[in-house]
Structure 1
Amino acid sequence: MTNNPYKSLPKKAFWRPAVAERHYADLEDLWQPFELKKAHKVATAGSCFAQHIGNNLAQRGANFMDMEPAPPVFDSEAEARRWGFGVFSCRYGNIYTTRQLIQLLDEAFGNRTPAERVWEKQGRFFDALRPSVDPVGQDSAETVIALRERHLAKVREMFETLDLFVFTLGLTEGWESVADGTMFPMAPGTLAGSYEPSKYRFHNLRHSEILADLIGVRERLKAVNPGARTLLTVSPVPLTATATEHHVLSAAVYSKSVLRGVAGEMAEDFEDVTYFPSYEIISSHPSGGMFFNPDQRTVNQFGVDYVMKHFFSGPLAEEFGAGHTADEDGDLDLICDEERLEDALD
């Protein structure tokens, strides 16, 4: 019997043996991998970094869901990705916030219709909820709506049939409609549409709102797919820009901290929710920033490799193989709508 509760804890619980006395490349036990079989259907959504997990799972033989495959009109996979094909499991583009996610789920199951679904730019029409997936737009708003209905049917099928939903939390900041609170992936006027202060407002989601969104997503998902599990990650990529009054560095730390806190609570409270620490692996100070490119924002291939090394460990290594990234073609060309915010600097 001991009067010190720390005596029985493993070495990974102590900073000195787990971090200080190890080279960063030799860290172990950063998470507890769950069991996933190649037959299980895996769907992905979220910010840019989620694309690495989906790509590696697919390359390693996982049953990656591609509900809207590219038609045979593109010259290359890279060109198809520019049009939103093969980026995530459905062609919804980046889903940066939990508010976007829960609203998409409600819309897909007929429980919500956004007041504003179409944006116009130079005589062409775009889906306001996924403006990046169609670089040239359509010739009418009616065509946009028809294409969106087809897309929503695939989203609904995805949620009904998946076994694992991988969602990477990216941002707390977003722009929403004053009329009904619809949150858009990009600010109006960036990719399409135009910004009018009377119609749109900035909203920096708080911890309580994000937690409520994710709990709501889980409840809705379990209602249509009782056996579904969720894997949450937080993108280590800092904000491109902030619409708050704060410096972008402070805003980025706030955003990621809140998202990390919520993800941790979800994993603690629900047995069917798991958290993978991609954010910590890349961004924690012992890494010395070595996983970032010179812009101090985007993650280099070395960093992606290291994240995948830890992801594919334990039961996942046994099923899918261990080692570095399975991206045999080199750096994955990530599709990141947020980077278009830098156009405002020109």
Structure 2
Amino acid sequence: MQFHLSFPVAPLSDAIQYDHELLLMGSCFAEEIGEKLAEHRFNTLVNPHGILYNPLSITKALTSYLDGKVYTKEDLFLHNDTWHSWDHHSRFSGLTPEATLQNIRQMQAAATQAMEKADWLVLTLGSAHAYVLKENNRLVGNCHKVPAGNFYKRLLTVDEIVTALDNMMHRLFFRNRKINILFTVSPVRYIRDGVVENNLSKAVLLQAVHHLVNKFNRLFYFPAYELVIDDLRDYRFYKEDLVHPNELAINYVWEQVVKTAISAGSQELLHSIADINRAARHRPFNPESAAHQQFRRLYATKVQQLMTAHPGLQLEDLLQQFQ
């Protein structure tokens, strides 16, 4: 008897390589995969606006990089003695406008530069539900715990998502001739919107993404949503909140990313780095023992060999740890 539905994930025709530069944007699931990529020493920039859930806010952030936008105090507001930006996650918020703007401008500059050079833009769409300020109809990327009565909540349409992303991508492809875009839909279940409403939201996102992927040659889709919802399909793969995929699920999706989205040559290097990362996390019972000193010398040599073979890899911190 078969109790598990699995399905093949088609490999990317133009897979990710170690010499590629990656920009990841979107929901908290983008951060989970971005953390894995960074851990394995890919050149990544993750969520320079912070976590964003709806595709229009993600598109607005990307457009700000294309425009070279410089945020000013007029873009901020004060709430609960803290300065916030409606376009950014609360991790950019600060006690003074100057502190808030410093963090925003620093990441804005990094994102603008990354977009110019990126080989891959990975967009993880979380929800088609968006929040709009009642006072001026402004779309917000984060509500910053401002009372719900200040917002309208609405479900974005497929057409407006497609139009917004389409317009942004035409500008992006003109600016960066080599960039590819990999879409994913977050498997996080936003049950605060309601179970039925969450499913409707995901359906809108999936329809919009597949419309775009079928339209452009440089757009791809990775089924992170389907791997968790249809392949794993069990609450034991969620955290206690029953909303966010747990470590087992994230690792399972990551394994599929490696198999299908990373080039064969880079997979070999990735596994070597994974082995070194495991060694770096090892905590010996007796750090001064001869066996552990030999262990450290062995892995210091492995790191040096990788650095010689791949000069672009940033492994100096690992080398210092083993030395």
TM (normalized to structure 2)? 0.73
**Residues in 2 aligned to 1:149 and 1:293: alpha-carbon distance in whole angstroms:** 34
Residues 50 and 167, structure 1, Cα contact 8 Å, conserved in 2:
yes
1:1-346 matched pairs, under 5 angstroms:
23-24=4-5, 27=6, 29-33=8-12, 34-65=14-45, 88-90=46-48, 92-110=49-67, 117-134=75-92, 137-139=94-96, 141=97, 144-145=100-101, 147-177=103-133, 181-187=137-143, 190=145, 197=150, 200-242=151-193, 248-284=194-230, 287-314=233-260, 316=262, 318=264, 319-321=266-268
Instruction: Give the secondary-structure state (helix, strand or coil) at the position aligned to 2:228.
Output: helix
Gap change, CA 1:163 and 1:194, over 3 Å in 2: same
Residues 102 and 216, structure 1, Cα contact 8 Å, conserved in 2:
no
Instruction: Give the secondary-structure state (helix, strand or coil) at the position aligned to 1:43.
Output: strand
**Residues in 2 aligned to 1:60 and 1:184: alpha-carbon distance in whole angstroms:** 33
> What root-mean-square deviation, in Å, do the aligned CA atoms of Structure 1 and Structure 2 show?
3.1
Residues 127 and 145, structure 1, Cα contact 8 Å, conserved in 2:
no
Gap change, CA 1:111 and 1:203, over 3 Å in 2: farther
Deviation digits for residues 209-253 of structure 1, max 9, x if unmatched?
1111221221121121111110110001111522xxxxx001111
Dislocated runs of 4+, deviation >6 Å? 111-116
Q: What amino acid does structure 2 have at the position aligned with 1:320?
A: Q
Gap change, CA 1:257 and 1:175, over 3 Å in 2: same
**Residues in 1 aligned to 2:207 and 2:242: alpha-carbon distance in whole angstroms:** 23
Gap change, CA 1:317 and 1:287, over 3 Å in 2: farther
How far has the Cα of 1:205 moved from its partner?
A: 0.8
**Residues in 1 aligned to 2:252 and 2:112: alpha-carbon distance in whole angstroms:** 34
**Residues in 2 aligned to 1:300 and 1:317: alpha-carbon distance in whole angstroms:** 26
Gap change, CA 1:210 and 1:315, over 3 Å in 2: closer
Instruction: Give the secondary-structure state (helix, strand or coil) at the position aligned to 2:11.
Output: coil
Q: What amino acid does structure 2 have at the position aligned with 1:298?
A: H
How far has the Cα of 1:147 moved from its partner?
A: 4.8
Identity %: 20
Q: What amino acid does structure 2 have at the position aligned with 1:32?
A: P
Residues 54 and 130, structure 2, Cα contact 8 Å, conserved in 1:
yes
Gap change, CA 1:108 and 1:138, over 3 Å in 2: farther
Residues 47 and 96, structure 1, Cα contact 8 Å, conserved in 2:
yes
- In our comparison, the structure showing a higher alpha carbon Rg is 2
Deviates more, 1:301-310 or 1:170-179: 170-179
Instruction: Give the secondary-structure state (helix, strand or coil) at the position aligned to 1:158.
Output: helix
Instruction: Give the secondary-structure state (helix, strand or coil) at the position aligned to 2:162.
Output: helix
TM (normalized to structure 1)? 0.69
How far has the Cα of 1:59 moved from its partner?
A: 2.3
In terms of fraction of residues, the more helix-rich structure is 2
How far has the Cα of 1:106 moved from its partner?
A: 2.7
**Residues in 2 aligned to 1:315 and 1:304: alpha-carbon distance in whole angstroms:** 15
Paired positions, count:
272
Gap change, CA 1:225 and 1:301, over 3 Å in 2: same
Residues 167 and 231, structure 1, Cα contact 8 Å, conserved in 2:
yes
Gap change, CA 1:218 and 1:288, over 3 Å in 2: same
Q: What amino acid does structure 2 have at the position aligned with 1:30?
A: V
Q: What amino acid does structure 2 have at the position aligned with 1:125?
A: W
Q: What amino acid does structure 1 have at the position aligned with 2:19?
A: A
**Residues in 2 aligned to 1:28 and 1:204: alpha-carbon distance in whole angstroms:** 30
Q: What amino acid does structure 2 have at the position aligned with 1:264?
A: H
Gap change, CA 1:154 and 1:252, over 3 Å in 2: same
